[in-house]
Amino acid sequence: MKKEFDEVADVYVINTCSVTENADKECRQLVRRIQRKAPEALVVITGCYAQLKPTEIAAIPGVNLVLGAAEKFNIATHLKEMTNNDAAKICSCDIEDVNVFTASHSINERTRIFLKVQDGCDYNCSFCTIPMARGKSRSDSIDNVLKNVASIAEGGAKEIVLTGINLGDFGKGYTGGRKHEENFFDLVKALDESNLIERFRISSIEPNLLSNELIEFVANSKHFMPHFHIPLQSGSNEILAAMRRRYRKELYQEKVGLIKTMMPHACIGVDVIVGFPGESDPLFKETAEFLQEIDISYLHVFTYSERDHTHALSLQPVVPINIRHDRNKILRQLSFTKMQQFTEAHIGQTRKVLFEGANKNGMMEGFSDNYIKVTSPFKATWENEIVDWVI
Ligand code: SF4
């Protein structure tokens, strides 16, 4: 039976992330909390950090099992063979051998389900360890995605968020490869035409993979929501080149411009990294001004942190930590202002809001098609329903 993390359970699974700063420290803290609460429980660590640093993780007192990128899907089999007295076991193979796509989706919500359709990445951004942790780009087939969507829809969900590590690179087949067997635009068209579920969102897409035809399609789509999340990482072409990103700021600006021309109501989220090596004051200012200028709705701001085995480690000059944090604060403030402006621009408009089931102290939450968060006094009849709502 599934339990909340704060409850006593027989097995705890911690899914680690290599993007999180201090993944190691956070992991240790969580294991200590588990040991205090349930000393008899088995503790399993999975995810990117488990793939990248299995030995370090196995050495954390209280850890019983470390599962790498391929083995995490066999968790039940491994658990059957374990006891709490065993020494920590590592089941992980070289990432080059992680070469099969395994579909999965979230199960903790009824309203909105995250469906993985792609995994891994063939890019080599200079700050990123994800290709080392997740392997090469590989994907589900369109036919299989349609089957999964049909089964999720049968369970009653109204919205599916398509996810992947490099989602726009969808279509390289179950084992990856050099060429695309299918492509992301074909998937989007097939899903839209299937009419299987009310709503789809695209979790995140690289700007160079967000084609103009895809933007036009979403603008006229019945099921794809006017909401894009597009990593930018820097508004300076010099830094983008050092990051080995595959676009320049002008392309980004063009994509945002096209989205807003075709869908003035669209929500656009942006990932940005501050404090990358070589990001001088003027180059940071260039990023901040660029973000100020373009018509985006919110930011996810990441503070650059050094990662083993990445090219960025060799780049100079390094930005002092306190300056990285100051820049993070400046852009988070900008994000707050942008979100406020975006929401205010829609006040008085009627938009379709999908309400989620949970009753949070007498209140419920939902998201509009263009991702404006709405709260309302709880009404059982609105659970998992799409309601016309005046913003
Ligand atoms: S596109 Fe770049 S940042 Fe994203 S997963 Fe691939 S290598 Fe990492």
- Three-class secondary structure of residue 325 per DSSP: helix
Residue nearest to atom 4 of ligand 1 (CA): 166
What are 127-137's pLDDT values in tens digits? 999 988 889 99
| Nearest ligand 1 atom to alpha carbon 124 | 7
The residue with tokens 């951004």 is 125
Percent of the chain with pLDDT over 90: 69
d(CA 184, CA 135) in angstroms, rounded, equals 19
In this structure, which long-range contacts are made by residues 35-40, counting pairs with CB atoms below 8 Å and at least 24 apart in sequence? 35/61, 35/62, 37/6, 37/8, 38/8, 38/9, 38/10, 38/12, 40/10, 40/84
- What per-residue confidence (pLDDT) applies to 114? 95
Which among 68, 24, 63 is positioned nearest to 46, based on CA atoms?
Answer: 68
Average pLDDT over residues 82-102: 75
What percent of the chain clears pLDDT 70, i.e. is strictly above it?
97
Q: Which of 123, 210, 240, 300 to mutate for ligand 1's pocket (most ligand atoms within 8 Å of CB)?
A: 123
Q: Reply yes or no on whether the pLDDT at 95 is more than 70.
A: no
CA of 205 relative to ligand 1 center, distance in Å: 11
Q: Which amino acid is at 108?
A: N
Burial class (CB in 10 A: 0-12, 13-18, 19+), 383: middle
Highest mean pLDDT among 57-61, 77-81, 238-242: 238-242
**pLDDT score for 108:** 67
Radius of gyration of the chain (CA): 22
* Burial letters 242-276, b for 16+ CB under 10 A, else e: bbebebebeebbebbeebeeebebbbbbbebbbbb
CA 225 to chain CA centroid, Å, is: 17
Indicate which atom in ligand 1 lies nearest the CA of residue 134.
5
From CA 103, how far away is CA 73, in angstroms rounded? Answer: 10
pLDDT in tens, 297-352: 999 999 999 998 999 999 999 999 999 999 999 999 999 999 999 999 999 999 99
pTM, whole model, 2 decimals?
A: 0.87
Distances (CA, A) of 338 to 24, 331, 345: 33, 10, 11
- Give residue 10 CA to ligand 1 midpoint distance, Å: 36
Higher pLDDT, 6 or 107: 6
Q: What is the DSSP letter of 298?
A: E
Six-digit token string for 203:
């979790």
**Pocket lined around ligand 1, Cβ cut-off 6 Å:** 121, 123-125, 128, 130-131, 165-166, 206
Both tokens of 197, joined, read: 């579920």
pLDDT tens digits for range 227-262 = 999 999 999 999 999 999 999 999 999 999 999 999
